[in-house]
Amino acid sequence: MIGLCAVTYFAYHTVEGDRGVLAYMRLNGEILDAEMRLAKVASERQEMEHRVLLLRPDHLDPDMLEERARIMLNMGRDGEVVVFDRKRPL
């Protein structure tokens, strides 16, 4: 009887315990979510670094300069239609 109780106790904690199978699956899901967020943030950072590189004084991209000037001054040319993309940061 004592042996059966011990086996039941350990079997229960193997599945439900702090380090059980369910906790392991939950942690794997959290790790996957964190890795996906990391990949998203890393790609955003890489895009930002590329945009900053285009604005360096030693390597100035005229198109990027014009884009930033239009955004900062809130101006455009006559006859242009401006479409704002709310998803993309300014």
70: CB partners within 8 A, 6+ apart? 76
Q: Please check whether residue 39 lies inside any domain of the structure.
A: yes
Element (H, E) at 59: strand 59-60
Residue 80 φ/ψ region, left for φ over 0, alpha for ψ in the -120 to 50 degree band, beta for the rest: beta
Q: Please check whether residue 64 lies inside any domain of the structure.
A: no
Residues forming a β-bridge with 60:
55
Q: How far is CA 23 from CA 13, 31, 36, 38, in A?
A: 11, 12, 20, 22
DSSP state letter for 19: T
| Domain count along the chain | 1
Range of the domain at 33: 1-56
Tens-digit pLDDT string for the chain (90 aa): 999 999 999 888 888 878 889 999 999 999 999 999 999 999 999 999 988 888 888 878 888 888 888 888 877 778 877 777 777 665
Q: Which residue has the tokens 């794997």?
A: 28
Q: Please check whether residue 81 lies inside any domain of the structure.
A: no
pLDDT at 38: 98
pLDDT at 88: 65
Q: Please check whether residue 80 lies inside any domain of the structure.
A: no
